[in-house]
Structure 1
């Protein structure tokens, strides 16, 4: 028998094949002659007819044939594997029979608890050596991965659904409320967001200290309320713009926060502040003589001009400040309000001008709360749209404290001595907004 490298597969011709051809086997010895190498030649299992479809595995049978071979009739190696040291060691290390391995690999019923078990020793890295024979059934079961349980499949589906939902959740864009004014050059659509962003940043700088009356020795909160109530009547009589009234009150509060004033000069401060606001806002400015006449000639022209110089010097000529009016216009637009809601909102916020305690709220919060209170009063329930929340940057909870106070002012507006705002908004020109029912249900929240 010609042997070329006994360890190379496909290089040795099967002895049983030669016997079938009738080739004489004289001169070929087994057993004693091969004892010098302490090994036997391996056959090529690929050349044997009837080998299982897995080329790396053969059927385990007895390691010794029923009829032992001799010199003339050597033993056949068909269906057998020679016993080597490594193969014997692997058989010794096997911890369980093949039929136990197959039964352990069976799938458990759906819903039962599974525990991860380590691979049996027959499938360990040592067992998967080239000289180890593995049963075909074991080979199939080792490559069949266990199917996932129903709970695992549901968990996987839920995870995938959550990932899809997280991808779909995107930040909600701010509704566009300026597209309708794209062709209006006075609306400055290209810059309006930047303008109001600047107003929000600087509104605290244009506010008066909320407790400045404590520094005044001759005037009090009631005197301030009387002055503002009277100026609202003057503003209405002169038919001035809304911006003028809000700027007048702002100038008065900022000046009194920096300068002490005696009681008899308080009305002079009021008319002079209105004169400055008219110069800043109005196209047609009332003359000084008209203001002197409306104040029953209590002051002279020289006194008015002197007070004007003192106010602008104290305020450092800073008249461009954001008042509640500028925010009212923007927030009413975001709320998609009609004329009735607009008039009621301005009625509520003008009631706040008279009240000294409302100075603790910033102008943007006052405007947003007035719009929210008027909107809720007209609808009969609390209403604050997503667009309003995004454009005002105030949630409904942030507005409730200020809104409750506004409801109280709305309820008491027609009573007492300071009724200028109530009488103004009780006319048909202002839609009789003062006659509307207050939103009492906001007091209960």
Structure 2
């Protein structure tokens, strides 16, 4: 008995003989009918199951989908007409009786049948035209295919980097909108009028030297642009002498390096590049003076960040982006371009680079992300081409020599566009 009992415990019951709870069979039957899935639905491949429902033709056993008549489904007018017709055919008298009744009996029966059909058939709205029902025809499968989706004019440029945690693609659009709002706060006035000892030419010499420092220390381009902005905003608030101009420039690079670089140069490095013209205490005192004057708000929008963003919108190559960077860096030492909006300056440099490369004009995607139309940029694009053509500062050639290197695709050696050809290209795009 013990052995037989153990055998019974070890031997599992067959699946089909497993006792079911009350009403379980009825529930299983209802679920099977509702979902139309057999008992082996758990083992069905989801891809095969999706394909068998997605691809259904008119020749399949289930039959193809049919068109729906809107008015017929809502009012059931066609069903009532069919029912009324059947009832009328049942109540019609045989031919012999009709002959016996004569003409008056036929007229009376028609009148009675007409009244009955009017009661059963709902009255139509006065605005609905009376149209004879058209028999349904089988619809070809080609007409039921969904229309092709149109490619949107504006492309989502951040979609490809949504999975990259370092790109911050989810917040990129909001970040650049925030930077566009901060542009208004950092617009520069004409501050040279209240600087008695500093001129625009002196500022150009300083910026040319700062470009050389950035190249020697191999700093980021964002560091250079931010340092130039710090110099300009400091000179708006403080009147300075020409002897302190290089100290202001070197200290601005030091502050920008701490803000942008992962490993910024130390104070001794900046004292060395200034040829020991200043002491360590003077450099630290100037750093405190710049930061306190600007109220430590040094996250200033720069054209270089907008340029990289807009180049991504245009899907520009590295060579085209480098050409636009060269044009933008040429404007750093020109005082006339300090009052331009950074985003507008970046957009104009990119548009000129695209035109010089014959790569098309301003696309809807660029207009959407930049906020500027092509007509808004035309005057500044012409000024940039004029700057590139006539080279007002031949002696200050640090930027040109930098971008004449093969590392930068030698973009500084490209010939500028003729003004008439540029005008024609801008009007055509």
TM-score (norm 2): 0.62
1:217 is displaced (CA, Å) by: 0.9
Over residues 142-164 of structure 1, what are the superposed CA-to-partner deviations in whole Å (9 max), with x where a residue is unaligned?
A: xxxxxxxxxxxxxxxxxxxxxxx
Partner of 2:266: 287
**Displacement over 4 Å in runs of 4+:** 170-173
* Separation of aligned partners in 2, 1:319 and 1:407: 31
Structure number with higher relative contact order (C-alpha < 8 Å, ≥ 6 residues apart)? 2
Matched, 1:178 2:158: yes
Partner of 1:398: 376
**Would the aligned equivalents of 1:346 and 1:370 in 2 still touch at CA under 8 Å?**
yes
1:415 is displaced (CA, Å) by: 6.1
Over residues 371-429 of structure 1, what are the superposed CA-to-partner deviations in whole Å (9 max), with x where a residue is unaligned?
A: 101111011x7622221111111111111111111112222349611111100000011
Over residues 230-281 of structure 1, what are the superposed CA-to-partner deviations in whole Å (9 max), with x where a residue is unaligned?
A: 1001101110011101100110010001111001101100000000000000
Partner of 1:207: 187
Matched, 1:320 2:327: no
- Counting matched residue pairs gives 286
* Separation of aligned partners in 2, 1:393 and 1:266: 36
* Separation of aligned partners in 2, 1:357 and 1:326: 21
* Separation of aligned partners in 1, 2:360 and 2:173: 27
Partner of 1:375: 354
- Paired residues for 1:296-445 under 5 Å: 296-379=275-358, 383-413=361-391, 416-440=394-418, 441-443=421-423
* Separation of aligned partners in 1, 2:328 and 2:161: 26
**Would the aligned equivalents of 1:341 and 1:375 in 2 still touch at CA under 8 Å?**
yes
Partner of 2:145: none
1:206 is displaced (CA, Å) by: 2.4
Partner of 2:246: 267
* Separation of aligned partners in 2, 1:421 and 1:289: 26
**Would the aligned equivalents of 1:203 and 1:362 in 2 still touch at CA under 8 Å?**
yes
* Separation of aligned partners in 2, 1:303 and 1:291: 12
The structure with the largest helix share of the pair is 2
- Paired residues for 1:113-132 under 5 Å: none
TM-score (norm 1): 0.60
* Separation of aligned partners in 2, 1:230 and 1:398: 33
* Separation of aligned partners in 2, 1:172 and 1:201: 27
Unaligned runs of 5+ in 1: 1-46, 48-169
Unaligned runs of 5+ in 2: 1-103, 105-149
1:369 is displaced (CA, Å) by: 0.4
Matched, 1:193 2:173: yes
Greater Cα radius of gyration, structure 1 or 2: 1
